[in-house]
Each structure stands twice: as C-alpha cells, then as structure tokens.
Amino acid sequence: MPSTSTIVTCAVTGAVQTPSMSDALPVTAAEIVEQAVAAHRAGAAILHLHVRRPEDGYPSGDVELYRPVIEALRSQTDAILNITTGGSTQMSLDERLAAARHFQPEIASLNMGTMNFDYSAAAKRVTHWKYDWERPYLENSRRVPFVNTLESIEQILRSLGSLGTRFEFECYDVGHLYTLAHFVELGLAKPPLFVQAVFGIRGGIGADHANLSHMQLIADKLFGDDYVFSAFAAGRHQLAFGLHSAMTGGHIRVGLEDSLFLGPGELAGSNAEQVTQARMLVEGLGKRLATPQEARALLRIGEDGAPRR
Ligand code: KMH
Ligand code: ZN
C-alpha cells in the first residue's frame, strides 16, 4: 500500500563487511550505539542490529555483547529496535536466535529461504588485513549456504511471534515471497507483512530495477494491501533501490551492513551519512521520513497490547 511517509531502516554493522574494509564500520558496543543513535537522529525509525566481538570485530550472537547496545538504545532513543535472526550465514541457528529470544524486540529479521550467499569477492579488494579471521571468513561464504529451512522459519515465527515480535521478512528472490505466502496461509505470518526485498546478493535476485518491479507485482498478487514494501541492494546500488522503492510508495533500508559507500569510490564516514542521503532523496520526492510512532502505526507494532521496545 503506497505510503506518504517513508520508513528508513538503518542496518548499522551486519556480518558481511569486515573491519579491514572500512574504519567507519562500528565494532564495539560503544561504536555501535554512537552510530545507531546518530542514524536515528538523522531520520532512521528502525535500527537493524547485529553485534561483533569488541577485540577483533568478528560477528557474534552473544547476548552479553548485545546487552549494552540494546539497553543504551532503549534508554537513549525511541527507535524501533530490530534484532537480526540471520546473524551471520556461518553461525548456528541457536546462536542466531539467542538475542532476539532474550530481548524480545519489536522487530526481528527473518530470512525467507536457504540460499547461496557469497560475499567472498570483497576479499579480493582488501590489501591490508587487520585481523587473521577476515579473509578465510569471507572466502568461506562461497562454500557454505545460508540455511533457512521451512522448519526453521516456522520455528522462528512460532517462538518469537508468540512473544509479540513482528518481522522484517527478508526476501532475496521471488520464491521467497511464495514461501511467505505459505506462512500467511498457515496463519503464522500476520499482516501487515513488512517485506524487505534484497537485491544484488550473489545467490539471490540481481540488482536490476525490473526485478524490483516484478517483486512488487508478485507481492501485490499474493498479499494485496496486506504488506508494507521496503528495499535495498547490497553494495553500490544500495540507495538506487531505496529510491525506486520510495518512488513507488515503499520504504528504504540503508546502513553499513549492506554498503560501505556514499558514492562511487567514496567510503561513508558513518551510518548517519547514508541516512541523510536517503532523507534528501525522500524529501526530493516531496515526501517525508516516518517517525518511529508513524512506523509503528504503519507496521501495527504493539497492537497485541504487549509493551516492548
Ligand atoms: N545483510 C543482509 C543482506 C539478517 O540480518 O537477518 C542480510 C541480513 C540478514 O540482514
Ligand atoms: Zn542483518
């Protein structure tokens, strides 16, 4: 359903980029909080969160590393917190789910299918490695699949859904929309569905604008008015896909999780810089950014009566 205000999600650090790729990538809890607060002030209503080991930036699912981040963001902002259940493609399911189970956020990400998810190409561009784990970690992504079976999706929907958490349904291909429709039929995925369409992952649908139009066409057929569309592309096409989404009444995701850049060859200095770029594009379209309260209303967060942040 087209919206007059645009929700910006900022995915602050993720698990695909590694510290050698950019000094701006936040690693410690203090860095993640500082950048997340600034991104929120710049206009991000939703903060999509991962954490890393402070000593070397290795992606982690440790609840104790999440704790200072979640506590600080809950006290310092009104942002909607979205805790990943994708973690890293190389974590076990239990490790991926621990933080969302523990903190019961307003939103958790939910990846809608098993797929190849190859982010090894970035390793070829790094000349100086800060940490020994980075290169083999990146290269391993070409070897191991990102496992999201129907059974595990159902388990996440049942366990987190029963706690009142809603979902960012990450759809990396058209087939993932049909998988989502299956869970709507089962009554486990509840409208309005927050569909985050992801383009340009090696293993998923390509960063071609015709694909975005097709994803919207199929989502319209499957879900009618029962979904809220958002989009991004990994890497250099990140914001172009957000713009395409906003132009067609959808929403935007930015953040260093998915792209380290502001423009060709220009590294972003922070997540907030990307949010500011998104704000300028949205305002250029004659629209405005959704506040967290407007985003909660659009996504019907908190309507089950359970207070959560
Ligand atoms: N970095 C995205 C392409 C998740 O956190 O659930 C994948 C992602 C997965 O956002
Ligand atoms: Zn993520």
- Note the ligand closest to the C-alpha atom of 146: 1
Distance 85 CA to ligand 2 centre (A): 8
Task: Please say whether the beta carbons of 216 and 250 come within 8 A.
Answer: yes
- Note the ligand closest to the C-alpha atom of 17: 1
Would you say the CB of residue 204 lies under 6 angstroms from ligand 1? Answer: no
Task: Please say whether the beta carbons of 248 and 2 come within 8 A.
Answer: yes
Mean pLDDT, residues 228-248: 97
Distance 28 CA to ligand 2 centre (A): 16
pTM of the model: 0.98
Tokens 């701006």 belong to 24
Which residue has a Cα nearest atom 6 of ligand 1? Answer: 86
How many angstroms separate the CA atoms of 242 and 3, rounded? 14
H or E stretch at 267? strand 266-267
How many angstroms separate the CA atoms of 243 and 251, rounded? 8
Would you say the CB of residue 31 lies under 6 angstroms from ligand 1? Answer: no
Structure-block tokens of residue 58:
């290795």
Distance 230 CA to ligand 2 centre (A): 14
- Ligand 1: atom nearest CA of 117 is 3
In degrees rounded to 5, what are phi and psi of residue 239? -75, -30
Task: Please say whether the beta carbons of 204 and 178 come within 8 A.
Answer: no
Would you say the CB of residue 109 lies under 6 angstroms from ligand 1? Answer: yes
- Ligand 1: atom nearest CA of 234 is 3
Q: Exposed/middle/buried for 198, CB within 10 Å: 0-12, 13-18, 19+?
A: buried
Mean pLDDT of the residues in the chain = 96
pLDDT at 307 over 60: no
pLDDT digits (tens, 9 = 90+) for 106-144: 999 999 999 999 999 999 999 999 999 999 999 999 999
Closest to 239 in 3D by CA, of 259, 214, 265, 219 = 259
